[in-house]
Structure 1
Amino acid sequence: MKIALLGYGRMGKAIEAIALQRGHTIVIKTSQDKDYDITTADVAIDFSVPSAAYNNISNCLNHNVPVISGTTGWLEKYNAIVSLCEKQKGAFIYASNFSLGVNIFFELNQYLAKMMAKLEDYKVDIEEIHHTQKLDAPSGTAITLAEGIIQNNKAYNNWELDKAKDAKTIAIEAKRITDVPGTHIISYTSPIDTIKIEHEAHNRQGFALGAVIAAEWIIDKTGVFTMKDVLNIGSL
């Protein structure tokens, strides 16, 4: 499989190493808006920056190259990409996190939100910790977790970075610490106790492996997909 790496930072390099181990070839690797022929690739993996993601993904779809993206911070244009994918009969996956463990954590988060929905004494909050080079806050993973709670617990209808403005808003605290790949903590706190679930990434290998697996999976498919499709994970 010939892979284009759109974004060649830490994640791009980690993806490259795993892709080569799995017998694939890297035909494009770029971290800049420079000219490249995307049609030389069988599939593209976008881990660029928010300002470049939309153009990267659009370019792939316009040239019938399946693309997966793990770039966060550009999702105000997500619906436009979905429309373009449908128009071009292309293939696209966006995930805020490609790690198998995190996608299991997403399911646990939703299940716990359902369990806690009737327990009004508990207030939920989210903490996320990442390396200092991460450009967006809160993380896309934290936003996905907040949305999972909102979908399954009518006590909440919004999220907000730092302090929540009212009881229906989920507070997300974002911390940036050197060399932390990614930690996410969901806490339900009442006057008498606290319930927590946590996912801690030890390195970037889980994210990179999941991205390569998604790229392998999407070949010869048409449509807009998620990691639930790739991993065949259904809601509990």
Structure 2
Amino acid sequence: MKIALLGYGKMGKVIERIALERGHEIVLKKDEFNTYDGLENADVAIDFSVPTAAVPNISACFNTGIPVVSGTTGWLADYDNMIALCNEKKGGFISTSNFSLGVNIFFGLNEYLAKMMATLDTYKVSMEEIHHIHKLDAPSGTAISLAKGVIENSHYANWTLENPQANEIHIEAIREGEVPGTHTVTYQSEVDTIEIKHTAHNREGFALGAVIAAEWLAGKQGIFTMKDVLNIN
């Protein structure tokens, strides 16, 4: 399979290595200094860039007829526009805050726990996410996805980085060192605490999940999620 890498930072280089190990070919390594020459030769594109580059990258893929998986976060104000363009161009698209196979299992656990806790008013839910100091957005896209998972399965209506109201989930975003990503969901009452946690040890899991998603998406049209890729109901 021929892959275009849109974004060639630390994650892009890990994705490149894993893709080559799995027998694929890299036909474009796009960064801020070069063009999209070679994109038309790709079977699929993988976008791990920065928030300001995500929309141009994804648009270029749809306009060229190349399906794209995007792990860039911080650009979701334009998400609906990209969905509309994907549908218009009959493109293929997977956009997620986290391609890690373990994190996507964690998403499922989070939703299941939220359903179990929905009627227990004595517990208050909160979240903490820790990432490296280079991360540009806060809270992380993964934390936002976790919050949405709770909101869709409970009485909570929103999340906040500030002091929460009764129907808001407080997210604490911490930036320190070179932490790849740690996410904790906590339900606390006066008598006990229930906690689920995912800790990434390196970037390998994100990169492997992105390549697996690209392998699955190649040749397909439509808008999909990692639940489709992993056949998680």
The one-letter code sitting in structure 1 at the alignment partner of 2:159 is W
1:131 Cα deviation from its structure 2 partner: 0.7
1:135 Cα deviation from its structure 2 partner: 0.6
The answer (yes or no) to whether the contact 1:162–1:174 under 8 Å persists in 2 is no
Question: 2:136 maps to what in 1?
Answer: 135
User: For residues 111-130 of structure 1, what are the structure 2 equivalents within 5 Å?
Assistant: 111-130=112-131
Question: 2:10 maps to what in 1?
Answer: 10
1:27 Cα deviation from its structure 2 partner: 1.1
User: Helix, strand or coil: the match of 2:219?
Assistant: coil
The one-letter code sitting in structure 2 at the alignment partner of 1:196 is E
Runs of 4+ in 1 over 2 A off after TM superposition: none
User: Helix, strand or coil: the match of 1:85?
Assistant: helix
User: Pairwise CA RMSD of aligned residues?
Assistant: 0.9
User: Helix, strand or coil: the match of 1:152?
Assistant: coil
Inter-CA distance 32–4: structure 2 relative to 1 (3 Å threshold): same
1:186 Cα deviation from its structure 2 partner: 0.2
The answer (yes or no) to whether the contact 2:43–2:219 under 8 Å persists in 1 is no
CA distance in 1, matches of 2:161, 2:7: 27
CA distance in 1, matches of 2:210, 2:21: 14
Please report the TM-score for the alignment, with normalisation by the length of structure 2: 0.98
Question: 2:54 maps to what in 1?
Answer: 53
CA distance in 2, matches of 1:33, 1:9: 12
The answer (yes or no) to whether the contact 1:163–1:172 under 8 Å persists in 2 is no
1:41 Cα deviation from its structure 2 partner: 1.3
CA distance in 2, matches of 1:199, 1:162: 23
The one-letter code sitting in structure 1 at the alignment partner of 2:107 is F
The answer (yes or no) to whether the contact 2:90–2:221 under 8 Å persists in 1 is yes
1:33 Cα deviation from its structure 2 partner: 6.0
Inter-CA distance 33–86: structure 2 relative to 1 (3 Å threshold): farther
Structure 2's unaligned 5+ residue stretches are: none
The answer (yes or no) to whether the contact 2:27–2:41 under 8 Å persists in 1 is yes
User: Helix, strand or coil: the match of 2:152?
Assistant: helix
Question: 1:226 maps to what in 2?
Answer: 225
CA distance in 2, matches of 1:152, 1:178: 34
The answer (yes or no) to whether the contact 2:132–2:178 under 8 Å persists in 1 is yes
CA distance in 1, matches of 2:170, 2:33: 35
Question: 2:204 maps to what in 1?
Answer: 205
1:205 Cα deviation from its structure 2 partner: 0.6
1:30 Cα deviation from its structure 2 partner: 2.0
The answer (yes or no) to whether the contact 1:5–1:44 under 8 Å persists in 2 is yes
The answer (yes or no) to whether the contact 2:133–2:177 under 8 Å persists in 1 is yes
Structure 1's unaligned 5+ residue stretches are: none
1:163 Cα deviation from its structure 2 partner: 2.7
- Tell me whether 1:74 sits opposite 2:85 in the alignment: no
1:34 Cα deviation from its structure 2 partner: 3.3
The answer (yes or no) to whether the contact 1:14–1:204 under 8 Å persists in 2 is yes
Deviation string, structure 1 residues 126-155 (Cα, Å, up to 9, x no partner): 00001111110000000000000000001x
User: For residues 1-236 of structure 1, what are the structure 2 equivalents within 5 Å?
Assistant: 1-32=1-32, 34-37=34-37, 38-154=39-155, 156-164=156-164, 166-234=165-233
Deviation string, structure 1 residues 102-123 (Cα, Å, up to 9, x no partner): 0000000000000101110100
The one-letter code sitting in structure 2 at the alignment partner of 1:83 is A
CA distance in 1, matches of 2:142, 2:33: 26
